Structure 1
Amino acid sequence: MQSTLTIGELAQMTGFTTHTLRVWEKRYGALDVLRLPSGHRRYPRSEVCRLRAVSQVLKQGHKPAKVSSSSLEELNQLLDVHPTQITASFLEQDFLEYLPEEPLTQEWLTATDYYDEVTLTKLLSREWRERGPLLFIEECLTPFLSAVGLRWEKGELAISQEHFASDCVNDFLSSKWRELNKENKGQPIILTTLPGEPHRCGLLMCAVVSAFAGKRVISLGVNTPTKEIVNTVKRSQAVALGISISSHYPKDRSLQFLTALMEDLPPTTKLVVGGEGKPVLPENIFTFNNWGNYFLWIKNL
């Protein structure tokens, strides 16, 4: 077993995004960093346990500035006082509100401000080439979409600008997952959204990661009736069904549809649910809080 990890591996094993870890390292000196002769950074495997403890302590209301660099012993003392369990999705959702906009994100936002599709597409393509599909989504696209959402909520971005950014991203992701999917074979994974769910971006990101993991993707688009979902799963003998749920979708309604789907799906088909709007689900339904976890799950399915 290797004693050091890349930042991507550290992110996958702790539930944090690489974006969050880099900000903590830069702002708080929070990570124990080892420098290779090549100049590349590596992180001791011991950081995994410590960062998992950090994620639990943050749920109690402690600020990243106070606890992100704390030792494991100090963190355990806090947990002994207020033991709790949390998910990485809460951590990332909560912490991203305090993150400054990275230069890369700012470039993309500037193109959005001016409805500059050519520039935005070039910027998307550049980072896709340099980072690859998984890191592109985790390190670039997720922070950008979070920044767009926050600026729209604050009234700093017009509805038309938010729609413009979403449309550019959706078109880009659509072309990329289909390109990755061309050579994939075997039992497919079906991807869609529930009835009444119009948001596509999470679905498209899932298609990219699934195709990148080597799975044959069949996308049904958005707003698919549950009867059609089940019929397609059976006809295609799908190994898995992936459902994307946005934060705007009512949780009681999603739970109702997902429960019905589980009853009608073949026993050999796995159900996986992602997105900010996913409800609390039974253990036999796989849910994920970051794309690294999903990539590992679907690749090994």
Structure 2
Amino acid sequence: MDNEHHDTARAATIDALSLAARSETDKTIQAEKWRELWREVLPLERWYFIKDDSEEVSPIFLKDGDTILLPVFTDVERAINYAKDFGGKDRVYGSAPGGMITATEELEKSGVSLVVFNPHEEPFAVTPATLKQLAEGYSTSGEGQIVGGSVQLPESEVDALAYFARTHVDDIKAKSALWITTLLLDSWYFVPQGEGEHVQPFAVVGEGGAHILGFTQAKRAAEYAALRGLGQLDAVIEMTPQEAVSAFTATGSKAVSIQFDPQHGSFHTGIKQLPAMLKIAEQVAADQRKDQDDND
């Protein structure tokens, strides 16, 4: 209840600051209100998006005339409410702000003119370039850090590899290192959905199929379930990478993609690519064992 009260109070604060910043006529006061607003929004642990119809876990873009907009939400309830016209609440997903901020150049290349926060309520908008400048100013000023940002210390080796791969999109070796490490983990973890014999990993379902959400740590799956309002989990689904790849590529499977650690490193690939990727990772592991044996 305390967390729920805190979230409600924070949402009200963001709305009040957005309204004040947009309606204030005194430029000095207005600038201060904008500053206060971004000091509430930038350090949030998650921003929320609505998934599009593609096979990847990517957000919807909207059009206002010739202007392309990216809707972003500062809490999950707003996103769920907005998603009613875009496939429902299962399309909602959260991501650390740093992930999107790091990708501002890609957003601009995609034609996105404005990032619009909390549309239909007390909206406020900013260009991708300005958003990046605001985030960099917030971090370099010493006021705080952006969750998932490039200056954030990674929690695991996979996180570090994911951040590096995201900021070096043309580096094939960086992406390969990330996936080899992920595919050689002892276990992958999933949020369970369904009951009894019908329990299966939680997925965002779109017209193209099911987009699986996977986690490199059990606690991350549990945290995501709590974040999505799925309750406190007694247990999560645990599978070896081999078991998971076999299950997701089996005849009748509707899985089309898998995204890992959406609140942390956040990286994804198509299911069809997984068997070949797993084979490469296993060969790398075998070669490493052989080299070690030869050196002993």
Could you say which structure has the higher strand fraction?
Answer: 2
Tell me whether the two structures share a fold, i.e. TM-score over 0.5.
no
Could you say which structure has the higher helix fraction?
Answer: 1
The alignment's TM-score, normalised by the length of structure 1, stands at 0.27
